[in-house]
Structure 1
Amino acid sequence: FFKTKSCLEAACLAGAETEDEGRGASWLRQRVAELVADDEQLRNQLQDLPDDYLTGFTPESVARHLQLHRKHAGRLQQRVLLFPEARRGYWSLLMLSKDRAGLLAKLCGVLAIHNFSVLAAQIFTWPDGTVVDVLDVQPIAELKFDEQNWQALEEDLNKAVNYRFDVGLKLHGKKQGFGLGPKRKIQQLQLKVVLDNESSRKYTIIEVYGADAPGALYQLTQTLSDFGLDIHRAKIATEVEQLIDIFYVLQRDGSKLVDPEQQEMVRTTLLKIIGMDEIE
C-alpha cells in the first residue's frame, strides 16, 4: 500500500514508460532469472513479461507467479484461481486467470459481496493473455484469516465470470447492510476524473478520485467495461477513505479512447458514480 501511495504522490504512474523503469526492470529480470535458473521454460517466459509488471513486484513474487502459472496452466483456461495470504494488518489476494471482458469488475463486486474492503491493487495482463491481479484487502467483519471461506469466494467469482451469479443484483441487495452507521465528513475529499492520452504511448489513462464506499470499485470498473474499454493495468489505493484509482485502458479494437464525445460520456458517468457517495 505505501509503495503504491508513494508512487501516486510522486505521479510516477502517469510516467510509467521511462528509462529508469527500463533499467529497474532489467535488474529485476536478472534477479528473477537467478531464482528460476534451473527452469528453462520459466526463464524464457520471463523475457516476455512487461517492464511495469516486473517493477511492481519483488523478484520472489514474480518467480512465484511464474511457477503458479505453469503449475495450474490447464485449470487457468477454465477457471479463475485465487491464492490468499495473510499479511501484517491486511490480507493479500493473488488472482490468476485468462483475460476476460469485465473480469476486474466482477472481482471487485464479488469482494464487496463477501464484505471485503480493497486497500490497494495492482492489475496486469501478460502478453499471453494471463491476468495477474494482486489485491490487498481487509474484511469489514471481524474475521480471522482462517475463518474466511476462501473456497466460497473463488466459487462465486467463477460463477460471476460465467454469468451464473448476478453481481449487480447481489450488491444492490446488500446496500442496506453496508450503511451500518452514520457517514463521517471527510476533509479535503477529492472528487474528479481525468482522462490522459499523453502520458502513455499505448494506453488511455483514466484517473478517478472519489470517496471510498462499498461497491464503488465494482461500479467504476463495470462502467468502463460497459463503455467497451478493457483494463490492461490498474493501480488502486485507499487513504483515509479517499479512493484513488488509475486505469490503463484500450478500446476493444486495441486503440486508445480519443473520440472527444465518448471521452466526455465516460468522464461524466464516472463522476456521477463517485458523486453518489459524496458525504454531505
Structure 2
Amino acid sequence: ATKTGNLYRLKMLYLLTFADIKAVGPESWTPWKNTLLMELFLKTSHFFERGGVVRPFLKGNEMIQKLKESLPPEIISEYDDELPDRYLSSYSSAEIAHHIEMARSIEKGLLLVEWEMEKETHAKVTLCTRDRYGLFSKIAGSMFLSRLNILEAQIHTWGNGIVLDTFWVEDATKDIDRRLQQFKKDLEEILGGKSSLKDLLSKRKESNRIIQKVIPKVSGEVKISNQDSDFYTIVEVTGEDRLGILYEITQALTDHGCDIHFARVSTLGNRIVDVFYIQDTWGEKIEEKQKTDRLKEILLNRFTLNEEITVKDQNR
C-alpha cells in the first residue's frame, strides 16, 4: 500500500499485471495465479478504502510465535498444527486469537456468528462452526434468504474440522442488522435440523420470487484446473453478479458431489470472480474429463437460468 500510493494506482497495477500475464499465452492465466493476485489486490484495496493502518500479515511459524504473546501455551499447542498456512497468512494475529476463542466457544453451541457494521449498508460477518457436507451452500442460501448480497468471502477449513468464514455483505435497504439477525436464526434452524433451506424458501414468499429470465451483461466463464494443486481441484467461476448467484454456484457444486475446502469470493463492479478448492466425497481430486466437463456445464447454466431456482434439501 505504501509503494502503490492510492487506490487508483492499485487498480491500474492490477490491470497491467493481468494483461501482462494473459499476453504470454491463453493458458498462462490460471485459477491459482488469479487467487494470489486477487488476494493481494483485495487486501490492499481494503486498506485504502477503510483508511486503516498497514498491518503485517505473518506466515506459518512466524504467526504462531506472534500468537504466543496473546494466548496461553496450552492453547497454542492445541491449535498450532490445525491452522493452514493459507489461513495464517490471511489474518492478523489479533484476529486469529479471536477466531481461536470463537472455536473454543462453539463447544457450547452449534455456531457463532458475529458482525460489525462498516457502512450503513455494509457489514463484515465472521462465522465459526464445524464442517459438514454442503455447509457453504447452506450459508450462502441463508444469506440469499435474508436478501444479503455477498461481495467478498474467505472460506477456511482447519485441520480439526473447524470452519472459519468471513463474509463482506451489503443490503441496499439499510436494514442490514435486522437481516443479519434473521440470517443467523435461519442458519441455526437449518444446521440444527429444525428446518431445511427448501422449507424456509417455500414459506417466505418474497424469497421465492426469482427473476424468470436472466440475460447477463458479463458472459459466464468456468475454468477447472488439476495442475495447480497436488490435493485439490481448483474451480474458477466468473460472470455477472446478482443476488443469490453464490448460493446457486455452491448448491451446484454440492449437488455434483463436491466438497469445498477453501474458497475466495470477490466482486469487482458487476462481475464476480470466485475460486473454489474442491475434492470429491472420497477426499480426492476430480480428474475424470467426463466429470469436469459436466461440472463446467452445470456451473455455466447458473448464469442463464430460464426458470425459478430449485432448492434441494441438503440435510443428508
Residues 31 and 235, structure 2, Cα contact 8 Å, conserved in 1: no
Query: 2:311 is matched with which residue?
Result: none
Amino acid at match of 2:94: E
Query: 1:30 is matched with which residue?
Result: 65
Q: Which runs of 5+ in 2 are unaligned?
A: 1-6, 22-28, 37-57, 307-316
Give the alignment's TM-score, normalised by structure 2.
0.72
User: How much does 1:193 deviate?
Assistant: 0.3
CA 1:111 to 1:39, structure 2 compared with 1: closer, same or farther past 3 Å?
Answer: same
User: How much does 1:116 deviate?
Assistant: 0.6
CA 1:197 to 1:167, structure 2 compared with 1: closer, same or farther past 3 Å?
Answer: same
User: How much does 1:198 deviate?
Assistant: 0.6
Deviation per CA, 1:8-67: give whole Å up to 9, x if none: 9697961579xxxxx83332232223222x342234313431100111111111110001
SS state at 2:153 partner: strand
* Structure-2 separation of matches of 1:140 and 1:124: 28
CA 1:184 to 1:266, structure 2 compared with 1: closer, same or farther past 3 Å?
Answer: closer
Query: 1:158 is matched with which residue?
Result: 188
* Structure-1 separation of matches of 2:131 and 2:168: 21
Give the alignment's TM-score, normalised by structure 1.
0.81
Task: Select which of 230, 238, 248 maps to 1:201.
Answer: 230
Residues 197 and 205, structure 1, Cα contact 8 Å, conserved in 2: yes
Task: Select which of 113, 116, 128 maps to 1:85.
Answer: 116
Task: Select which of 142, 146, 157 maps to 1:114.
Answer: 146
Residues 215 and 304, structure 2, Cα contact 8 Å, conserved in 1: no
* Structure-1 separation of matches of 2:289 and 2:143: 33
Summarize the alignment of residues 174-189 of structure 1 with structure 2, pairs less than 5 Å apart: 174=206, 186=217, 189=218
* Structure-2 separation of matches of 1:225 and 1:195: 16
Residues 170 and 176, structure 2, Cα contact 8 Å, conserved in 1: no
* Structure-2 separation of matches of 1:184 and 1:141: 24
SS state at 1:198 partner: coil
User: How much does 1:255 deviate?
Assistant: 0.3
* Structure-1 separation of matches of 2:108 and 2:252: 31
Q: Which has the higher strand share?
A: 1
CA 1:140 to 1:177, structure 2 compared with 1: closer, same or farther past 3 Å?
Answer: farther
Query: 2:309 is matched with which residue?
Result: none
CA 1:268 to 1:163, structure 2 compared with 1: closer, same or farther past 3 Å?
Answer: farther
Runs of 4 or more off by more than 4 Å in structure 1?
A: 8-13, 168-173, 175-179, 183-186
Residues 31 and 225, structure 2, Cα contact 8 Å, conserved in 1: no
Amino acid at match of 2:96: V
Query: 2:51 is matched with which residue?
Result: none
CA 1:170 to 1:237, structure 2 compared with 1: closer, same or farther past 3 Å?
Answer: same
Equivalent pairs: percent with the same residue?
A: 25
Query: 2:26 is matched with which residue?
Result: none
CA 1:13 to 1:86, structure 2 compared with 1: closer, same or farther past 3 Å?
Answer: farther
Amino acid at match of 2:132: R
* Structure-2 separation of matches of 1:24 and 1:123: 18
Residues 266 and 274, structure 2, Cα contact 8 Å, conserved in 1: yes
Residues 109 and 168, structure 1, Cα contact 8 Å, conserved in 2: no
User: How much does 1:214 deviate?
Assistant: 1.4
* Structure-2 separation of matches of 1:104 and 1:225: 9
Deviation per CA, 1:96-151: give whole Å up to 9, x if none: 11111111111111111111110100001111101111101111322264xx2544
For the pair 1:49 / 2:80, whether they are aligned, the reply is no
Query: 2:48 is matched with which residue?
Result: none
User: How much does 1:72 deviate?
Assistant: 3.0
CA 1:229 to 1:70, structure 2 compared with 1: closer, same or farther past 3 Å?
Answer: same
Answer with 1 or 2: which has the greater Rg: 2
For the pair 1:236 / 2:265, whether they are aligned, the reply is yes
Aligned length: 259
Query: 2:32 is matched with which residue?
Result: 14
CA 1:67 to 1:170, structure 2 compared with 1: closer, same or farther past 3 Å?
Answer: closer
Q: Which runs of 5+ in 1 are unaligned?
A: 18-22
CA 1:128 to 1:185, structure 2 compared with 1: closer, same or farther past 3 Å?
Answer: closer
SS state at 2:277 partner: strand
Query: 2:40 is matched with which residue?
Result: none
Query: 2:96 is matched with which residue?
Result: 62
